[in-house]
A and B are shown apart, each in its own frame.
Chain A
Amino acid sequence: MSALTGIKVLELAEGVAGEYCGKLLADFGAEIIKVEKPGSGSPTRQLGPFGAGDKSDGERSGLFAYLNTNKHSVTLDLATADGIATLDRLLAHVDVLIDDHNIEWLKNVGVDLEVIEQKQPKLIVCSITPFGLAPPDQRKYAEDLTVFQSSGWGYHTPSGADDSSKPPLKGAGRFLASYEAGIEASLCIVSSLYEREASTLGRVIEISKQEVLASRIDYVLGQMIAGDMDVSTSRTQFDLAGPSGFFTCADGYSYMWISAPSHWEALRQLLGNPEWMNSFPARWLELECTPERVKQCRHHVGEWLKTQNKHEAAAAAQKLGLTLVAVNNAKDLIESEQFQFRQFFTEVKHPVLGAALYPTAPYKLSETPPSISVPAPLLGQHTTKYLAKSGGVQ
């Protein structure tokens, strides 16, 4: 058995955060009943990347396929009294509810967070929303971009924004805020399941994406809030001085982190003890890191790296103790010997999308490794399994 075998989860969530949370639980063996709208299903079915073919059938979204492995799909029309009554019966049979709607929507489908703990004391309810269940009027409507920009990360992305005429950036991919919130939700749900084993009590959990993201910058923001680090409207307020950064290579880009005397000595060996390094004080990185030296250092390293291939240069540097790495893209990840060794990607055969490599979980567990046993469900694939003809629960 895997770690969460036997745990039943009802997923009302329709966005990436809730679906990712459900996936994290499902890949450890939890049984996820995903409630979808008849007809169109989860909104993530309509989002790319799409596999080949006519995407109008709602079964070709690579996003949905990735986020919903190991889950069961039940279609339920929550706009009808019958649908709501069925939901109520389903809820009585599960351990966990994951939702990402607002509080009024939940109430309308019969889930009243004010009384749920009295009504179903064993149930763990996890709500994931952009700004919590009672957002102010100025934050009622939100997307991952606006959340990211509200968290402190956005304004300071990228680092080293020297040209303030260019806008702050969105961060990597489309759903960073959602993935982060999904992880936090899983952590809280599993902790609650753990405690419930002894107390037999459920819990209501409220995840705010903004707060998850802001708490991820605690090292900086925690100092700012305590008055130990300056705040300003500077776009570089989160940054550190020094020559660390991106460099162009012959076949792409690399990133070099250099902050300690040991890095500097490793760089000297890597470059063959070039003359220019001798004019720098030994501990300049810590004690005498002037903009002029940073510029010179970056120039010389850049001249060398642009003649090098990113993976080879990184391997040579790492062997000397210099933290130089390749800037990877998706192809690099799939071809990475390290990822292959750890089997981070696994082939999943989806009945419509066919066979493809999917990212798995970023952790190995010796006793209960997460795994993908079945592909994401077709819309309504498990409706009859879970709902008897009478509308009852099997």
Chain B
Amino acid sequence: MSSNASDKREKMRGGPVRGGPLQGVRVVELTKVWAGPYAGKLFSFLGAEVIRIESEGSLDVTRTYGVADINKAPGFQAVNPQKLSVQIDMKTKEGIDLILDLVSKADILIENLRPGAVRRLGLGYDKVKAVKPDIIYTSMGMYGSEGPLSYQTGYAPCFAALGGLSSLVGYEGGAPAGMNLRYADSTFGAIAANASIVALMHRRRTGVGQFIDVSAVECMASMIGDTVMDYSLNGVIHESDGNRHSDMAPHGVYPCAGGEWITLAVSSDVAWQALTVAMEQPELAVNPKFVTLAQRNTNADELDRLLSTWTATRDAAELTTLLQARGIAAGKSQSSVDMISDEHLWLRDFYHEVTNSDGSTRPILGPGWKMSRGAQINDGAPRLGEHNAYVFGDILGLSAEEQTRLAAAGITR
């Protein structure tokens, strides 16, 4: 365990021990873009010490894309708070040896480089296991690390398309429109983090580490497991169906005044009756087209037209208040403006500030949990190589002279 080193770092930076369930756990990240870094962020938010290995020669695109200062890249800052950054050039033998040395003092290694890249670098599971027999080695790939299609690559929307999600999202009778194109990476990262911690628990009880192979496409298929079950049981292939739901009607998103949208989901006949009262249209309550769920589903198009007519001239927030008061699940469909001004999220400290190394502050978001004895989340994302001295000196025990030599030789650029 690395609790001593972690305590030392806290002392070094003058902050309190962060606490949290993963206090004392050290994670090394060989990651790119979003999915791998997202997993690392979850570890750090749970209290782990997460060290991202970076190099000037192969900077992550989120450090460089459309930005002037790689230490103030907004995308990188959003996904990497509370992590450490160390510079090691993975294209050199000495760099690889440094990484192996670091990993031998870590608990988890997580990677999402291109298929086969870690093996070519000499950082495959066998190599790492040789220096750290009980390492938890988590490998993330679009299709997983083995198999006939494991050579294929893709970005988040490819995962969603391959995993069966995109074909389900679209307007009735139309072509697939798909999830928002940002969807998939973070879910993939969360699932990889979950599997890694399960392995960590196993190691604590048995002393045995292991190799974990996570497939992004399978992660996506898991998000529609019940839909897949309909094919397994009944041979049914679902297609995009707008906002329809087999167990609820009405179930949709309806236009409001000022270009806003309200969403509502009626989960019972009682809620439907309450909705007709809210609409002040008592005749609907007894209309045989809409009395039961089956009837409302059969006549869902007509139902949606009636509702849209009712909502179209009304204010989304006022409607929400009216419907919630009657026990109906309803709420505004929130734009990006609504998201950053969501009072509930501010009051719950979902949005909160962290401090950057230059003393400036920056709001970040998350995590999706609150917990007793949780980890403090204080620091912004690291500058490139911000923690070189800590990693090389305190963790690896390299002398100042050796660190100077490595820097001069470009190994730690």
Residues of A within 8 A of B (CB): 1-4, 16, 24, 28, 47-52, 62-63, 65-67, 117, 131-132, 135-146, 149-160, 164, 166-176, 179-181, 183-188, 190-195, 197, 201, 203-208, 210-226, 228-229, 231-235, 237-240, 244, 246, 248, 253-255, 257, 259, 314, 318, 323, 325-334, 336-339, 341-342, 344-345, 353, 356-359, 361-368
A184 to chain B, nearest CB (A): 5
- Scoring B167, B204, B339, B343 by chain A CB atoms within 10 A of each residue's CB, the highest score goes to B339
A329-B238 contact, Cβ under 8 Å, with A211-B366, A248-B175, A359-B225: yes
Q: Is A334 touching B162 in the complex (CB atoms < 8 A)?
A: no
Chain B 208-252: CB-based contact to A (< 8 A → 1; otherwise 0): 111111110111011111111111111011110011011110011
Bound CA span A226–B340, Å: 9
19 contacts between A and B (CB under 8 A): A62-B233, A117-B372, A141-B329, A151-B334, A171-B179, A173-B227, A197-B205, A208-B369, A212-B368, A215-B367, A226-B363, A231-B337, A235-B335, A238-B180, A255-B158, A325-B162, A327-B166, A337-B147, A368-B210
Partner of B190, one of A155, A191, A216: A216
* Chain B residue, CB-CB nearest to A197: B204
Give me 15 other A-B pairs in contact (C-beta within 8 A), A145-B265, A219-B62 excluded.
A47-B247, A48-B246, A137-B325, A145-B263, A168-B333, A172-B224, A186-B194, A208-B368, A234-B336, A255-B158, A327-B167, A361-B195, A362-B191, A363-B214, A365-B199
Q: Is A238 touching B182 in the complex (CB atoms < 8 A)?
A: yes
B105 to chain A, nearest CB (A): 19
Q: Is A137 touching B195 in the complex (CB atoms < 8 A)?
A: no
A255 to chain B, nearest CB (A): 4
A365-B243 contact, Cβ under 8 Å, with A4-B201, A328-B167: no
Q: Is B75 touching A219 in the complex (CB atoms < 8 A)?
A: yes
Q: Is B144 touching A364 in the complex (CB atoms < 8 A)?
A: yes
Bound CA span A366–B211, Å: 5
Partner of B202, one of A172, A187, A213, A368: A368
Residues of the B chain whose Cβ atoms lie less than 8 Å from the Cβ of A67: 225-226
Q: Is B368 touching A168 in the complex (CB atoms < 8 A)?
A: no
Q: Is A214 touching B74 in the complex (CB atoms < 8 A)?
A: no
Q: Is B218 touching A152 in the complex (CB atoms < 8 A)?
A: no
List the 9 shortest-distance A-B pairs measured between CB atoms, nearest first.
A222-B78, A212-B368, A362-B218, A228-B74, A158-B177, A215-B366, A49-B230, A330-B231, A143-B265
Q: Is B366 touching A225 in the complex (CB atoms < 8 A)?
A: no
Bound CA span A146–B334, Å: 10
A145-B230 contact, Cβ under 8 Å, with A137-B324, A221-B339, A325-B161: no
Residues of the B chain whose Cβ atoms lie less than 8 Å from the Cβ of A175: 226
Bound CA span A169–B144, Å: 30
Bound CA span A81–B343, Å: 40
Bound CA span A47–B226, Å: 10
**Listed stretches B10-18, B51-59, B149-157; interface member:** B149-157
Q: Is B243 touching A341 in the complex (CB atoms < 8 A)?
A: no
Residues of the A chain whose Cβ atoms lie less than 8 Å from the Cβ of B237: 329-331
Residues of the A chain whose Cβ atoms lie less than 8 Å from the Cβ of B328: 141
A201 to chain B, nearest CB (A): 7
A49 to chain B, nearest CB (A): 4
Partner of A170, one of B155, B227, B243, B365: B243
A226 to chain B, nearest CB (A): 5
**Listed stretches B38-46, B84-92, B386-394; interface member:** B38-46
Q: Is B243 touching A169 in the complex (CB atoms < 8 A)?
A: yes
Q: Is A222 touching B364 in the complex (CB atoms < 8 A)?
A: yes
B169 to chain A, nearest CB (A): 5
Q: Is A233 touching B337 in the complex (CB atoms < 8 A)?
A: yes
Bound CA span A168–B206, Å: 49
B36 close to chain A: CB less than 8 A: no
B183 close to chain A: CB less than 8 A: yes
Q: Is A326 touching B181 in the complex (CB atoms < 8 A)?
A: no
* Chain B residue, CB-CB nearest to A355: B232
* Chain B residue, CB-CB nearest to A152: B339
Residues of the A chain whose Cβ atoms lie less than 8 Å from the Cβ of B223: 172-173, 176, 179-180
Q: Is A323 touching B320 in the complex (CB atoms < 8 A)?
A: no
Q: Is A180 touching B143 in the complex (CB atoms < 8 A)?
A: no
B327 close to chain A: CB less than 8 A: yes
A327-B161 contact, Cβ under 8 Å, with A338-B217, A366-B210: yes
A225-B168 contact, Cβ under 8 Å, with A49-B234, A361-B222: no
Q: Is A154 touching B263 in the complex (CB atoms < 8 A)?
A: yes
* Chain B residue, CB-CB nearest to A24: B194
**Listed stretches B116-124, B253-261, B279-287, B405-413; interface member:** B253-261
Q: Is A191 touching B179 in the complex (CB atoms < 8 A)?
A: no
Bound CA span A3–B199, Å: 7
- How many chain B residues touch A (CB < 8 A): the figure is 153
Chain A interface helix/strand/loop/mixed: mixed
Q: Is B143 touching A338 in the complex (CB atoms < 8 A)?
A: yes
Partner of B232, one of A3, A223, A358: A358
Q: Is B190 touching A180 in the complex (CB atoms < 8 A)?
A: yes
Residues of the A chain whose Cβ atoms lie less than 8 Å from the Cβ of B212: 363-366
Q: Is A167 touching B164 in the complex (CB atoms < 8 A)?
A: no
Q: Is A362 touching B211 in the complex (CB atoms < 8 A)?
A: no
Q: Is B167 touching A329 in the complex (CB atoms < 8 A)?
A: yes
B74 to chain A, nearest CB (A): 3
Bound CA span A334–B235, Å: 11
Tell me the residues in window 257-285 of chain B with beta carbons closer than 8 Å to chain A beta carbons. 259-261, 263-265, 267
Tell me the residues in window 302-361 of chain B with beta carbons closer than 8 Å to chain A beta carbons. 317, 320-321, 324-325, 327-340, 342-345, 348, 350-351
- Scoring B177, B185, B209, B237 by chain A CB atoms within 10 A of each residue's CB, the highest score goes to B177
B178 close to chain A: CB less than 8 A: yes
A214-B350 contact, Cβ under 8 Å, with A48-B247, A330-B230: yes
B187 close to chain A: CB less than 8 A: yes
Residues of the A chain whose Cβ atoms lie less than 8 Å from the Cβ of B191: 183, 362-363
Q: Is A219 touching B234 in the complex (CB atoms < 8 A)?
A: no
Bound CA span A145–B330, Å: 9
B23 close to chain A: CB less than 8 A: yes
Q: Is B154 touching A149 in the complex (CB atoms < 8 A)?
A: no
Q: Is B365 touching A214 in the complex (CB atoms < 8 A)?
A: yes
B100 close to chain A: CB less than 8 A: no
B301 close to chain A: CB less than 8 A: no
* Chain A residue, CB-CB nearest to B181: A159
Q: Is A201 touching B373 in the complex (CB atoms < 8 A)?
A: yes
Residues of the A chain whose Cβ atoms lie less than 8 Å from the Cβ of B182: 156, 217, 219-220, 238
Partner of B178, one of A145, A159, A194, A215: A159
A156-B180 contact, Cβ under 8 Å, with A197-B204, A367-B210: yes
Q: Is B192 touching A363 in the complex (CB atoms < 8 A)?
A: yes
Residues of the A chain whose Cβ atoms lie less than 8 Å from the Cβ of B144: 338, 342, 364
Residues of the A chain whose Cβ atoms lie less than 8 Å from the Cβ of B186: 215-219
Bound CA span A32–B77, Å: 39
Q: Is A342 touching B194 in the complex (CB atoms < 8 A)?
A: no
B362 to chain A, nearest CB (A): 5
Partner of B161, one of A226, A255, A342, A362: A255
Q: Is A244 touching B232 in the complex (CB atoms < 8 A)?
A: no
A290 to chain B, nearest CB (A): 17
Partner of B194, one of A183, A229, A257: A183
Residues of the A chain whose Cβ atoms lie less than 8 Å from the Cβ of B362: 226
